[in-house]
A and B are shown apart, each in its own frame.
Chain A
Amino acid sequence: MQLQDSHIVATQATAQTFSLTPPHAPAGMRITKRNGTHEAVDLGKIVRAVTRAAQGLHAIEPLQVALKTIGGLYDGASTRELDELSIRTAAALTAEEPEYGQLAARLLAQVIEKEVRGQDIQSCSQAITCGARQGLINTRLAEFSAANARKLDDAIDLAADARFEYFGLRTLYDRYLLRHPETRRVLETPQYFFMRIACALGGGDMAETLQLYRALADLDYLPSSPTLFNAGTTHEQMSSCYLLDSPEDSLDGIYARYGDVARLSKFAGGIGLGYSRVRAQGSLIRGTNGKSNGIVPWLKTLDASVAAVNQGGRRKGACCVYLEPWHADIEDFLDLRDNTGDEARRTHNLNLANWIPDVFMQRVEQDAAWSLFDPAQVPQLVDLWGEAFTRAYEEAEARGLARRTLPARALYTRMLKTLAETGNGWFTFKDRSNATCNQTAAAGNVVHLSNLCTEILEVNTEAETAVCNLASINLARHLGEDGFDFDKLARTVNLAVRQLDRVIDLNYYPIPGTQRSNARWRPVGLGVMGLQDVFFRLRLPFDGAAAQALSTRISEEIYFHALGASCDLAAQSGPHPAFADTRAARGELQFDHWPEARPQDGARWDALRARIREHGLRNSLLVAIAPTATIASIAGCYECIEPQVSNLFKRETLSGDFLVINRYLVDELKQLGQWTLAMRDAIKRAEGSIQAIGEIPEPLRQVYRTVWELPQKALIELAAARGAYVDQSQSLNLFMATPNLGQMSSMYMYAWKRGLKTTYYLRSRPATRIAQTTISSAAPSQAVACSLENPEHCDACQ
C-alpha cells in the first residue's frame, strides 16, 4: 500500500518538474547592459545562447535553462548577473542530468574568455606580458615567453577546455587564475594558465615545456595548489609542506617558531610542527624560579596566529601540531579541539596529531602502565626511535622520572575519543616512520613528525626545516581501451618527477633552514588521485582482490619509474648531496621493509638497483600520497586513494557549494534505462546510497558502495599493500558513520600491526540530520529496510 502511494507521488513529481511554468511578469523585465542602457529580456536570445553552448550534448533542454534563468531575474538586472545566473541555473540541474555540469562549464568558459579578451589580451604571451606589467610575473618567465611567443601561442589547445567539469573550472576561475591587482578581473584563460605553469616549470626547454602543457591540459597530472598558485610569479613559493621541528624549550625558541609558521602560511604552505621538546605544566623555570604553564598557552597563541594569516584570501593557513604521547601535557593536548570547556585552553584552528612510539602500542596490547614525562627531564626521548627509544624510555621509568603513570589503555581510549569527537588527534607511528625512511640510515637523522596531511615523512632538526613539493597523477586519465595504460603512466611519472625536481631549485624559501635542508635531500612527493574512478570504470568493487592487485601494481610502477627518473637525473646532475646517508645508497628500497611485498619483475628491479649504485639518486624521497582535495576537483576525479563518500554529495568550498553526482553510476543506470526522477529521489532519500534500491543489479550495487558501506579493514589492507612502494606515506582517512570505541580500538591497533606509518582523519557523520526539503515527505522512510540490512551504518535510528 505504502509503496503504491510513493509510486504515485514520484510520478506526479516527475510530471511537475518537467512541465514548464511560465516566467513571472516577463513583459516588464529589463536587462541593464554594460553601457548602461536597458533592453527587454529576450527569451529567444537566451535559448539560442544556451543551444550554441550545448552543441554535442544530448540531454540538455535549452528552453528549461532559459526559463529558469529568467524566473530568477529582477527588473533591471545587469548582463553580468544574467550570465552568472544562467551558469548557476545550469549547474544546479547537474543532479538531474550530469550533462548540465558540462553546459555550465562551457557557459563559464565563455564568460572567462570574454573577461580576458575585454582587457585586450588575445594570446597566452600577451597574458604573460600583461601579468609582468602588473608586477605579478617574474622576469625569467616573462623573458622566456617573449622569446618564444609564437610557438607558445600556437600550442594553445582551446578545445581542451571541454575536459573541465563545472566544479573544476569554477575553482580555477575563482582562485587560481591570475587577477589584475586593481580591477580583480582575470588576466588568463584556463589554457593560458596551464601554459604559464608549463613555461615556469619547463626548465627553459621548449620540448619539455610543451610536453608539460599537454599533460596539464589533458589533466593527466597536476602539481599541488601552491605550485599552481605561484609558479612563474614574483613569489615563487611552490612547496606544499613544511615540517618544523619542535621549538627548543625556551621563550626565544617558541616565539621564533610563531614567526616561522606565519611566514610559511603566508605563501600557501601547510605546516607540521612538533611540540614535544617544550616543557610540561608544573616544570621548573630556572630563570624566574617559577613553574611553567605547559604547552597549552603557547598553542593558544599559535592558534590565533594561524587564524590571522589567511594565504592572501585564497585559502586559510593550516597547521598541525604533533605531540608524543609520553609528554606530560598529552591529556590537555587532546582536549584542545573540544567544543566545550575553557576557551583559553581550546584551539579551534589547529590540527592535532599523536606521534606514537611502538612501546606505547605494545603496552596498550599488554594492558600495562604508561608513564608521562616532562621533556625538560628527558630531552633525549625526542631524538630517539625504535629500540633506542624503548631503552631510554624504560630507563627513565626505572630512574623514577615519570611525572605520572596511568594505564596505557586509559590514554589510548582518550586518544580514540578525541579522534571520534573532533576528527583530530591523528594516529601516526614514530618508529615505523623512522625505520622505513630512506633518510634515516645515518645516526642522528631522525624523522620527528609528519606534515599537515600525514603523507610526508622527512628528517628535520632545529636548524633544518623539511620541505616537500607535490604533484599527483590523475589515474582516471590513464585508462585505455584495454584497461589500465601502464605505458602512459610511466611517461607521466617521468615527466612529473623531472618537473618536481626543478621546483626544488626554482622555489622561493620563506624561512632560512628550508633551503639548506631541501638542497641536501631534494625530496619530492608524487601521488595519485582518481583511484576510485579507475575502479568504477573497470567495475571493480573497492574491497575486492582485483582492486587491490591493480592498486598495488599502479603503486609499484610509480615507484619504479620515479626511481628510474631520479636515477637518470643523478646521472646528469649528480646525486643529491646527502645520498651517502640514505638507505638507497646501501641498496635498500622501500619494499625491503615490507616482508609481504612481492615486486612483479625481479630482474627489472635488480637492474634498477645496479643503476642506483652507479649513479645514485637525485632525490632522497619520491612518492607521497597527498589528499589532493582541491586539485582532484579541478581534474574532476575522486580524491587520491579514497572511496567515494556518497553517490550524491555536496562539496563546500570557498567558491560556494556544489552538488556532485556520481556520473559513472548515472551512465550505468542510463544504460539500464533506470535513470529516472524516481530513481534520483530514491538515491537522495538514502543520502547517496543505492544499497536498498532493489531494481539496481547486485553486482552494480557492490561497485557503487559508499565509503560508509565498505569494510574499513579493506582500506587498511589496500594501504598496506601499496605501502611497500610509497617511500613517504599516505593521507589515509578512515570512516565510521557512528564511531564506536570497540571498533576504533581494533581498527587503529590493526593499522599499526599492518605496518602503516600514518593515518589521517577519522570521518564520521552527524548524529542528527537536517530535514530534507526537496523531496516529497510522503515518501516511505528507508529507515526500516536499511537498519535491518546494515545496523552498524544506519544513522536514521540513532
Chain B
Amino acid sequence: MPANESVPMTTPPITSVPATGAAPRLLDPGFALTLRPMRYPAFYDMYRAAIRNTWTVEEVDFSGDVTDLRQRMSPAERHLIERLVAFFATGDSIVSNNLVLNLYTHINAPEARMYLSRQLYEEALHVQFYLTLLDTYLPDARARQDAFAAVENIPSVAHKAAFCFKWMDTVRELKSLDTQAQRRQFLLNVICFATCIEGLFFFAAFAYVYFLRARGLLHGLAGGTNWVFRDESCHMAFAFEVIATVRHEQPELFDDALEADVRAMLADAIACEAQFAADVLSGGVAGLSLAQMREYLHYVADQRLRQLGYAPQYGATNPFAFMDLQDVQELTNFFERRVSSYQVGVSGELAFDAAF
C-alpha cells in the first residue's frame, strides 16, 4: 500500500513575508507565521468554535450496544454493522494522513494551520472512538484483527481505500506549489477529500448509523457518531472555505477542465460507494434498499456540486426521511440518553445587571 511507504520530509523555505510585493495568497508556498493582521479570520473562528465542542470517548455510553447487537438485530443488520465498522476503523486514519502530508504542508496561513491542527486532533479522537467501539463490539482478538485488515481483505472496503490513496498519490511528489498545474493538482486533492471522502463516503456511512438510530438501536454508536458527524461537518466547511478562498484569489484555476475532473472524480466515488452499499446491504435490510442508497448518493453528490458552484448532475431527491432527523434540534430526556449539546468554555465577566 502506498501509504505505508516512508515519506521524504520536504522543507520549503520558511518565510513569513512573500518575496514579491504582491499580497500573499493561500496557496503561495511557505510557512507564514504572522497572525496579525489576520488574513483569514474565518479559519480562526472555525478553530475556536471547534474547541468549544470538545468531547471525549469516555462520555459515550456503549452499555446498550452489545445487547442490541446480540438480541435485537438480525444477521443482515449485524453484517451491515461489521462492514461499517470496518470502514470506520481506517477511514479517519486515512484522512489524518492526508491532512499531515498534504493540507498542512500547502495551505499557507498560520490561522488555517491552527484549524488543521485541531482537525488532526479530532481525527485522532474519531479513530479512538471507533477503536473503542470495535473493541466493545468484537471481544475476540482475531475478529478485531480482521476488522482492521478489512482495508486490505474486503474488496468493497479496499476499493474505497484505493480511491483515497489514488488522490493522495497525485500530490505526494509535490514539494511546493510553484506552478498553476501544481496548485490545480493540490486543489483536486482538497476537493476530493471534502466532496468524495468526508462529503460522500462519510455521509453514506452516517446514513447507515442514522437509519439504525431512528429505530432506537445502538445508542453508543449513534451518540458518538453524532459527535463525529458534527466534527466532520466542520471539516467539510473548512475545506469548502479553503476552496472558496482559492477561487477568489486565483479564479483562473477553476477552468472547465477542473470541473470535468471533479465530475469524473465524483462519479468514480459514487461507483465505489455503491459497490460498498451492495456489500453492506447484501443480507436485505427493511427500510434501506440498495436503490434508495444509490438515490441518496446521487442526492449528496448534487449537494457537493452545488457547494462547489457547479450545476447538479443527477437530479436526485433525498429518499431517507430519517436523515431529516439529524437536521433538527435534539431534546433529550436525561433518563434516556445524555444530552450532547453542551459547550466547552464560557466567556464573559461576572455581572449583576446584565439583561437575560
A771/B237 in contact, CB under 8 A: yes
Q: Say yes or no: is A769 at the interface (Cβ < 8 Å to chain B).
A: yes
Interface string of B334-353 (1 = CB under 8 A from A): 11111111111111111111
**Among candidates A71, A629, A743, A770, residue contacting B230 with C-beta atoms closer than 8 Å:** A770
Q: Say yes or no: is B10 at the interface (Cβ < 8 Å to chain A).
A: no
CB nearest to B335 among chain A residues: A315
Q: Say yes or no: is A551 at the interface (Cβ < 8 Å to chain B).
A: no
Given the known interface contacts A71-B289, A767-B343, the answer about A412 and B234 at a Cβ–Cβ threshold of 8 Å is no
- Shortest distance between the CB of B311 and any CB in chain A (Å): 10
Given the known interface contacts A315-B336, A650-B325, A746-B351, the answer about A422 and B284 at a Cβ–Cβ threshold of 8 Å is no
Q: Say yes or no: is A657 at the interface (Cβ < 8 Å to chain B).
A: yes
- Shortest distance between the CB of A56 and any CB in chain B (Å): 24
| B55 neighbours in A (Cβ, 8 Å) | 339
Interface-lining segment among B29-37, B211-219, B253-261: B211-219
* 3 nearest A-B pairs in the assembled complex, by CB-CB distance: A92-B321, A656-B216, A74-B284
Given contacts A68-B321, A740-B348, 12 further A-B contacts (CB under 8 A): A21-B295, A92-B321, A654-B336, A656-B215, A657-B322, A743-B354, A767-B344, A768-B50, A768-B234, A774-B323, A776-B303, A798-B45
**Among candidates B203, B219, B348, residue contacting A741 with C-beta atoms closer than 8 Å:** B348
Q: Say yes or no: is B44 at the interface (Cβ < 8 Å to chain A).
A: no
Q: Say yes or no: is A4 at the interface (Cβ < 8 Å to chain B).
A: no
B352/A749 in contact, CB under 8 A: yes
A77/B356 in contact, CB under 8 A: no
| A420, B356: Cα distance in complex, Å | 15
Q: Write 13 A-B pairs (CB below 8 A) sorted by A numbering.
A: A24-B292, A72-B286, A72-B287, A72-B288, A74-B284, A629-B333, A651-B332, A740-B347, A742-B350, A745-B352, A746-B355, A770-B326, A777-B306
B327/A684 in contact, CB under 8 A: yes
A770/B226 in contact, CB under 8 A: yes
| A764, B341: Cα distance in complex, Å | 7
A653/B216 in contact, CB under 8 A: yes
Q: Say yes or no: is A516 at the interface (Cβ < 8 Å to chain B).
A: no
Interface string of B233-245 (1 = CB under 8 A from A): 1101100000000
Q: Say yes or no: is A365 at the interface (Cβ < 8 Å to chain B).
A: yes
| A773 neighbours in B (Cβ, 8 Å) | 203, 300, 303, 318, 323, 326-327
B321/A89 in contact, CB under 8 A: yes
Interface-lining segment among A149-157, A291-299, A641-649: A641-649
Q: Say yes or no: is B97 at the interface (Cβ < 8 Å to chain A).
A: no
Interface string of B279-320 (1 = CB under 8 A from A): 001001111111110010000100100110000000101111
Given the known interface contacts A742-B348, A775-B327, the answer about A346 and B58 at a Cβ–Cβ threshold of 8 Å is yes
| B321 neighbours in A (Cβ, 8 Å) | 68, 89, 92-93
| A89 neighbours in B (Cβ, 8 Å) | 321
Q: Say yes or no: is A272 at the interface (Cβ < 8 Å to chain B).
A: no
| B234 neighbours in A (Cβ, 8 Å) | 768
Q: Say yes or no: is A73 at the interface (Cβ < 8 Å to chain B).
A: yes
Q: Say yes or no: is A676 at the interface (Cβ < 8 Å to chain B).
A: no
B58/A774 in contact, CB under 8 A: no
| A71, B345: Cα distance in complex, Å | 46
B327/A774 in contact, CB under 8 A: yes
Q: Say yes or no: is B22 at the interface (Cβ < 8 Å to chain A).
A: no
A745/B350 in contact, CB under 8 A: yes
B324/A764 in contact, CB under 8 A: no
A416/B58 in contact, CB under 8 A: no
Interface string of A170-191 (1 = CB under 8 A from B): 0000100000000000000000
Using C-beta atoms within 8 Å of the partner chain, give the interface range for chain A: 35 or more
**Among candidates B307, B318, B331, B355, residue contacting A651 with C-beta atoms closer than 8 Å:** B331
Q: Give A741-782 interface residues, CB cut-off 8 Å to B.
A: 741-747, 749-750, 763-778
Q: Say yes or no: is B148 at the interface (Cβ < 8 Å to chain A).
A: no
Q: Say yes or no: is B38 at the interface (Cβ < 8 Å to chain A).
A: no
Q: Say yes or no: is B180 at the interface (Cβ < 8 Å to chain A).
A: no
| A183, B236: Cα distance in complex, Å | 47
A348/B58 in contact, CB under 8 A: yes
- Shortest distance between the CB of A767 and any CB in chain B (Å): 3
| A629 neighbours in B (Cβ, 8 Å) | 333-336
| B59 neighbours in A (Cβ, 8 Å) | 339, 348
A71/B291 in contact, CB under 8 A: yes
| A6 neighbours in B (Cβ, 8 Å) | none
| A795, B319: Cα distance in complex, Å | 29
Q: Say yes or no: is A305 at the interface (Cβ < 8 Å to chain B).
A: no
Most buried by B among A76, A736, A777: A777
**Among candidates A313, A343, A776, residue contacting B58 with C-beta atoms closer than 8 Å:** A343
Q: Say yes or no: is B11 at the interface (Cβ < 8 Å to chain A).
A: no
A84/B286 in contact, CB under 8 A: yes
Q: Say yes or no: is A713 at the interface (Cβ < 8 Å to chain B).
A: yes
- Shortest distance between the CB of B45 and any CB in chain A (Å): 8
A76/B216 in contact, CB under 8 A: no
CB nearest to A712 among chain B residues: B356
A742/B349 in contact, CB under 8 A: yes
| A798 neighbours in B (Cβ, 8 Å) | 45, 49, 52
Q: Say yes or no: is A688 at the interface (Cβ < 8 Å to chain B).
A: yes
- Using CB atoms and an 8 Å cutoff, list the residues of chain A in contact with chain B: 13, 16-17, 21, 24-25, 68, 71-77, 81-82, 84-85, 88-89, 92-93, 95, 174, 270, 307, 310, 313, 315-316, 318, 339-340, 343, 346, 348, 351, 365, 409, 412-413, 416-417, 420-423, 629-630, 645-646, 648-659, 684, 687-688, 711-713, 736, 738-747, 749-750, 763-778, 798
B333/A630 in contact, CB under 8 A: yes
| B281 neighbours in A (Cβ, 8 Å) | 74
Most buried by A among B306, B329, B341: B329
CB nearest to A714 among chain B residues: B356
**Among candidates B219, B315, B329, residue contacting A646 with C-beta atoms closer than 8 Å:** B329
Q: Say yes or no: is B63 at the interface (Cβ < 8 Å to chain A).
A: yes
A76/B284 in contact, CB under 8 A: yes
| A412 neighbours in B (Cβ, 8 Å) | 350
| A688, B291: Cα distance in complex, Å | 31
- Shortest distance between the CB of B164 and any CB in chain A (Å): 20
| A738 neighbours in B (Cβ, 8 Å) | 343
B344/A339 in contact, CB under 8 A: yes
| A650, B341: Cα distance in complex, Å | 13
| A21 neighbours in B (Cβ, 8 Å) | 295, 317
B54/A339 in contact, CB under 8 A: yes
Q: Say yes or no: is B229 at the interface (Cβ < 8 Å to chain A).
A: yes
| B345 neighbours in A (Cβ, 8 Å) | 421
| B236 neighbours in A (Cβ, 8 Å) | 771
CB nearest to A90 among chain B residues: B321
- Shortest distance between the CB of B351 and any CB in chain A (Å): 4
**Among candidates A17, A95, A656, A744, residue contacting B317 with C-beta atoms closer than 8 Å:** A17
CB nearest to A76 among chain B residues: B284
Given the known interface contacts A767-B52, A774-B327, A777-B306, the answer about A652 and B58 at a Cβ–Cβ threshold of 8 Å is no
A741/B49 in contact, CB under 8 A: no
- Shortest distance between the CB of A529 and any CB in chain B (Å): 13
| A742 neighbours in B (Cβ, 8 Å) | 348-351, 354
Given the known interface contacts A743-B348, A767-B49, the answer about A24 and B291 at a Cβ–Cβ threshold of 8 Å is yes
CB nearest to B219 among chain A residues: A654
- Shortest distance between the CB of B317 and any CB in chain A (Å): 5
B203/A736 in contact, CB under 8 A: no
| B63 neighbours in A (Cβ, 8 Å) | 307, 310
| B329 neighbours in A (Cβ, 8 Å) | 645-646, 648-650, 687-688, 765
Q: Say yes or no: is B153 at the interface (Cβ < 8 Å to chain A).
A: no
| A746, B333: Cα distance in complex, Å | 27
B328/A659 in contact, CB under 8 A: yes
| B351 neighbours in A (Cβ, 8 Å) | 741-743, 745-746
**Among candidates B61, B306, B327, B350, residue contacting A413 with C-beta atoms closer than 8 Å:** B350
| A316, B67: Cα distance in complex, Å | 14
CB nearest to B337 among chain A residues: A652
| A72, B353: Cα distance in complex, Å | 56
| A461, B15: Cα distance in complex, Å | 71
| A689, B319: Cα distance in complex, Å | 25
| A420, B349: Cα distance in complex, Å | 14
**Among candidates A313, A688, A736, A744, residue contacting B328 with C-beta atoms closer than 8 Å:** A688
Given the known interface contacts A174-B216, A646-B329, the answer about A766 and B341 at a Cβ–Cβ threshold of 8 Å is yes
